[in-house]
Amino acid sequence: MRTILLAILALNMFTLTARDYKVSSPDGRTVVTINLEKNIQWSASYDSREIISSVKTGILLENGKILGVDESVKKSNLTKIDEILRPEVPYKKSETENKCTVLMMSFKSGFSLQFRVYNDGIAYRYETAFKDTINVKNEIAEIQFPKGTSSWYPLEKSFMSHNENTFVFSSLDTIVSKHLGSLPVLFQSNGTNVLLTESDIEDYPGMWVRGAGNGRINGVWPAYPAADSSLNDRDVKVTRTRDYIARIAGTRTLPWRVFIIGAKDGDLIENDLVYKLAAPCRLTETSWIKPGKVAWDWWNANNIYGVDFRSGINTETYKYYIDFASRNGIEYVILDEGWYKLGNVLDVTPGMDIPELCRYASEKKVGIILWVIWKTFYDQMNIAFDQFEKWGVKGVKVDLCKGMTRN
C-alpha cells in the first residue's frame, strides 16, 4: 500500500512539473519559465533577478474560444538556433549572429506557441493551423513587472498618433487604465532595461498598451475598420469598426511579442532582435538598393546663411545641400515636406526644379530622395513613380505622420 501511495504521489508531482517548462538563453543569464496550469503564463529572470513577474497570453477567437486556456500539449521541442545572418542590404552590420534557445509547443486545439530566448532578449509568437479564415476577437497580453519597476511611457491620447510623443518617466505603479501607450515602451526592472516591442507584423494591427496599476500593463489592439473618412492629405479617421481586431488566414504566424534586455543603455541601441525576428526578404533582386548617409533639410529648417541667395525651399538652397553632401561623402539629399503642393505630389512648388536638381546631384555623385505623405502618394503611386523615374529620383521617403486611426 505504501508503494502504491508513493507511486501515486510521484505521478502527481510529475504531472504538476510537466506543466512547467524552462528555457535558458545560450549564456544562461536569462531564464524563462512557462506555466500551463489554467492559462498560459510565463515569467523571466536575468542574472537570477526577476525582471518579468508574469505574462498571461492568449488569443480570443470570434466563436468565443480562447487559445491558451485549458490547453493540452500535443508535442514540445527544445532546440537551438546558431547561425550567421547576412542581410541582403546591410544596415548596421554585414553579419549578425543569430543565436538562441527555442521552445515550440503544439497544442491539441490547433495552434502552436513558440518562445525564443536570446542572450539579449525574449520573444514569443502564436502559429495557427486552422482550415478556414478566422476572426481574431482580441489578443491577451497581461504583463506584470516586479515591484519597484519604472517606465519610460510614450503616453498617447488615442490610436490616432504620429508616434512622436514624449516618453514620460514614472513608477509603473502610477500607470493605470487611462494611460494609453504606443510601442516601444522601456522599463527598468531590478536594475535591467526591458524594452517591449514587436516584429514581423503583417495583416494584423500593431500592439499598444494600457496601464492596469500595481506594476501591470495590458496589450490592446485597435479594432478592424469597417468604414473611414479622409480628413486631409494624411489623416484618415475610422468612422465605424468591426467587433474583431483582425481577419486572418487560418494557417499562419502572428507577430512576435518582443522583450529586449539590456544591462546598459547602450545595449538597446546595439540590439538586432527585431531584425532577427523579421520575415526574410522576399525580393529576389536587391542590387538596385544602394544604402548610404543622408543630408536632411528638416533638421536645419532650410536656414542656411552666408550665401548670395535667399535660403528656403528653392533650387538654389538644395544645390547648396548637394554641394555639401558631395564634399563630405554623403550619398543622398532628402527633399522633405514643401517641395510639392500638399495634396498632389506632381504639383511642384514654384521655385523648385526637380529635374535640374536630379541632374546637378548626379554630376556631384549624390542621389535625390523625395519626401511624400502616405495618403497622397498612395492615391497617385503609379503615375508618381513613373514621373520620379523620369526626373532621376533615387528614392522615396514615405511619411506616415498620423495615418489611420482605429477607435
- Asked whether the whole model's pTM tops 0.85, one would answer yes
Q: What is the pLDDT of residue 189?
A: 98
Q: Report d(CA 85, CA 379) in Å as an integer.
A: 36
Q: Report d(CA 98, CA 167) in Å as an integer.
A: 30
Confidence of residue 12 (pLDDT cuts 50, 70, 90): very low
Rounded mean pLDDT, 132-154? 97
Q: Report d(CA 317, CA 7) in Å as an integer.
A: 85
pLDDT, tens digit, 9 for 90 and up, residues 29-42: 999 999 998 999 99
Residue 31's CB is within 10 A of a number of other CB atoms, namely 18
Q: What is the pLDDT of residue 164?
A: 85
Is residue 300 over pLDDT 50?
A: yes
Q: What is the pLDDT of residue 3?
A: 46
Question: Residue 247 CA to chain centroid, in angstroms?
Answer: 20
Q: Report d(CA 325, CA 320) in Å as an integer.
A: 9
Q: What is the pLDDT of residue 78?
A: 97
Rounded mean pLDDT, 58-67? 93
Q: What is the pLDDT of residue 162?
A: 85
Mean pLDDT over the full length of the chain: 92
Task: Kindly report which listed range (3-7, 50-54, 153-157, 233-237) carries the lowest average pLDDT score.
Answer: 3-7
Is residue 15 over pLDDT 50?
A: no
Q: What is the pLDDT of residue 122?
A: 98
Residue 162 in grid coordinates = 504620429
> What residue segments make up the domains of the chain, in order of their start?
19-277, 294-405
pLDDT, tens digit, 9 for 90 and up, residues 241-289: 999 999 999 999 999 999 999 999 999 999 999 999 999 999 999 999 9
Q: Report d(CA 86, CA 146) in Å as an integer.
A: 37
Q: What is the pLDDT of residue 215?
A: 97
Is residue 14 over pLDDT 50?
A: no
Question: What SS3 state is found at 99?
Answer: strand
Q: What is the pLDDT of residue 285?
A: 93
Q: What is the pLDDT of residue 100?
A: 98
Using the structure block, give the residue that is written with the C-alpha cell 481574431. Answer: 136
CATH classification code of 294-405: 3.20.20.70
pLDDT, tens digit, 9 for 90 and up, residues 103-132: 999 999 999 999 999 999 999 999 999 999
Q: What is the DSSP string of 175-202?
A: --TT-EEPSPEEEEETTEEEEEEEE---
Question: Is the CB of residue 44 less than 8 Å from the CB of residue 32?
Answer: yes
Residue 233 in grid coordinates = 492629405
Rounded mean pLDDT, 168-184? 97
Number of H helices, E strands in the chain: 7, 27
Task: Give the fold, CATH level 3, of 19-277.
Answer: Beta-galactosidase; Chain A, domain 5 (2.70.98)
Task: Kindly report which listed range (134-148, 201-215, 301-315) carries the lowest average pLDDT score.
Answer: 301-315
Q: What is the pLDDT of residue 10?
A: 38
Is residue 8 over pLDDT 70?
A: no
Q: What is the pLDDT of residue 18?
A: 52
